[in-house]
Structure 1
Amino acid sequence: MKVIKEKHSLLMRWTHWVNFPVLAIMIWSGLFIYWANDAYGISIFNVTLIKFFPEWFYNYFHIPQRLAEGMAFHFLFMWFFFINGLLYISYTLFSGAWRELLPNKNSFKEAWLVLLHDLHIRKTIPPQKKYNAAQRIAYTAIILMGMGSVITGLAIYKPVQFYWICWLCGGYHFARILHFALTIGYVFFFLIHIVQVALAGWNNFRAVVAGFEVVEESQHLPEQVTIQKTEENNENTAQKEA
C-alpha cells in the first residue's frame, strides 16, 4: 500500500525555487560585468592556453558588452540572493533541519558508494535517509559557496568601505578570482543537479515542488508500528498452523 509522506517544508521549497532564477540572473549579469575585463586564463611562458572566456563564447550566446546594465542587475539581485540565503540558513538552524543536512563522520565514505551506484558500478544502494551522503556534502558545500560569494562580492563591490573584508580575501584581485571561481562552481553544480533530478524521477521532483512524496507504507510507518504489525502477522500465522 502506498501512502503520502511529507518531505520538504514550504519555506525550504520556497527558498530553493527563489534561489534558482535569482542565481541565474546573478550569473547572467556577472558575465556582463566580467566581459568588460575578462582577464583570467591559463598561460605558460606568456602563451595563453585557455582564456575565460574566448570572444566566440560571448558572440555565440549573444552576450552584449553592457557593463552598466550588468552592474545594475547584479547589485539589485544580490540583495534577493542574500536575504533568501539568510532565510534558508536561519530556518535550517532553528528548525533542526541541519541535523539531516550536515555531513557526518561516515558521509565521505558513503558518498563514494553513492557515486559508484550512480555510475552503475555498484548494485547495492547505500543507506538512504532524507538526503544521502553525497547530497549532504554537495548541499553543505553550496551553502558555504554562497557565503563565499557574499563575502567576496562585498570585497569587490565596495573595496574601500569594506577594506577589511577585502584584506581578509587576500586583496581586491584575489577576491575577484575567488568570486569568479565560485561562479564557475555554481554552473557545474547546476548541471550535475539537473541531471541528478532527472535520474531520480518524478516522485523526487514532486517532493521539491509539492512537499510530499509517495512511498510504500512500510517505509512511512514508525519503527514501533512496524514491529507491532510484524508481531500481529506472526500471531495470525501461528493460529492458522494450529
Structure 2
Amino acid sequence: MRKIKEKHPLVMRWTHWVNFPILTIMIWSGMLIYWANDTYSITLFGHKFFGFFPEGFYKALNIPHRLAEGMSFHFLFMWAFTINGVVYMLYTWISGEWRELLPNKHSFKEAWLVLLHDLHIRKTVPPQNKYNAAQRIAYTAIIIMGFGSLITGLAIYKPVQFYYLTWLCGGYHFARILHFALTIGYVLFFVIHIVQVILAGWNNFSSVVTGFEVVNKKADGKE
C-alpha cells in the first residue's frame, strides 16, 4: 500500500534551491577574482605538484581580465547568500527542524555504516529517519562552512574596517587561504551531493521539489 507523506517544508525547499544558483555565481565570480592573484598550489619540499589553476582552465572558461566584473558579482550575491542563510537558520531554530539536522552521539559511527552501504560493502540499510547520519554531518558542516565563508570573506573584503575579523582569522593572508579552501569544499560537496541524489533515486529528489514523498505502507501500518 502506498502513502503520500510530507517530508520537506516550503521554507527548507526554497532556501535549498535558492542557495544553489547563488553559490554557483559566488564560486564563478570568485574564480574571476582569484585569477588576478593566482598564488596557491600543492607544494612539498620545494616541488610543485599541482597549481590552482592551469592557464588552459582560465582560457577555456573565459576568466582572464574580468576582475572588476567578478568583484561586482561576488559582493552583490554575498548579500543574497547571507540573507538566505539567515532565513534558513532562523526557520530551523524556530520550527525545531534543527533536531533532525544536528548530529547526535551516534552519528559518526552510523555515518561510517552509511558509507559502507553506499559502496555496496554492507547490505543492511543504516538507521534512517528524515536524514541519515551522513546527511546530518554533511548538512551541519555546510552551515558551518557558510558561516566561515562569510567571516573570512568580510575579513579579506574590508581588512581595515573589519580588522577584528581579520585578526580572528589569523591575518589577511590566512583568511584568504581559508576562504579559498572553503570554496574547494563547496565544489566537493556539490559533486558528492549530486552523486548521492542519483543513488537515492527519483522519489528522494522529487520530495525536495514537491515537499512530499511516496512511501510503502504495510498492512500492519508500518512503513
TM-score, normalisation: structure 1? 0.89
Matches within 5 A, 1:62-77: 62-77=62-77
Determine whether 1:7 maps to 2:15: no
**Structure 2 match to 1:156:** 156
Report how many residues are paired. Answer: 222
> What one-letter code is carried by the residue in structure 1 that aligns with 2:157?
Y
Distance in structure 2 (CA, Å) of the matches to 1:34 and 1:138: 26
**Structure 1 match to 2:173:** 173
In the TM superposition, what is the alpha-carbon distance from 1:60 to its structure 2 partner?
Answer: 2.5
**Structure 1 match to 2:185:** 185
> What one-letter code is carried by the residue in structure 1 that aligns with 2:80?
F
Instruction: State the secondary structure of the residue aligned to 1:105.
Output: coil
Instruction: State the secondary structure of the residue aligned to 1:36.
Output: helix
**Structure 2 match to 1:100:** 100
Instruction: State the secondary structure of the residue aligned to 2:141.
Output: helix
**Structure 2 match to 1:239:** none
**Structure 1 match to 2:58:** 58
In the TM superposition, what is the alpha-carbon distance from 1:226 to its structure 2 partner?
Answer: 4.0
Instruction: Give ranges in structure 2 of 5+ residues lacking alignment.
Output: none
In the TM superposition, what is the alpha-carbon distance from 1:46 to its structure 2 partner?
Answer: 3.8
Distance in structure 2 (CA, Å) of the matches to 1:188 and 1:49: 20
1:62–1:3: structure 2 CA closer, same or farther, 3 Å change rule? Answer: same
- Cα RMSD of the aligned pairs, angstroms, is 1.4
> What one-letter code is carried by the residue in structure 2 that aligns with 1:197?
V
> What one-letter code is carried by the residue in structure 2 that aligns with 1:177?
I
> What one-letter code is carried by the residue in structure 1 that aligns with 2:39?
A
**Structure 2 match to 1:222:** none
TM-score, normalisation: structure 2? 0.96
> What one-letter code is carried by the residue in structure 2 that aligns with 1:171?
G
**Structure 2 match to 1:86:** 86
Residues 33-64 of structure 1, C-alpha deviation per residue, up to 9 Å, x if partnerless?
00000111122444322111121211233323
Residues 188-227 of structure 1, C-alpha deviation per residue, up to 9 Å, x if partnerless?
00000011111111110110000000002349xxxxx849
Residues 56-75 of structure 1, C-alpha deviation per residue, up to 9 Å, x if partnerless?
21123332321000000000
Matches within 5 A, 1:221-236: 226=221
Distance in structure 2 (CA, Å) of the matches to 1:88 and 1:43: 38
Tell me which moved more, 71-80 or 48-57: 48-57
Distance in structure 1 (CA, Å) of the matches to 2:131 and 2:78: 28
Instruction: State the secondary structure of the residue aligned to 1:50.
Output: strand
Distance in structure 2 (CA, Å) of the matches to 1:3 and 1:99: 25
1:217–1:76: structure 2 CA closer, same or farther, 3 Å change rule? Answer: same
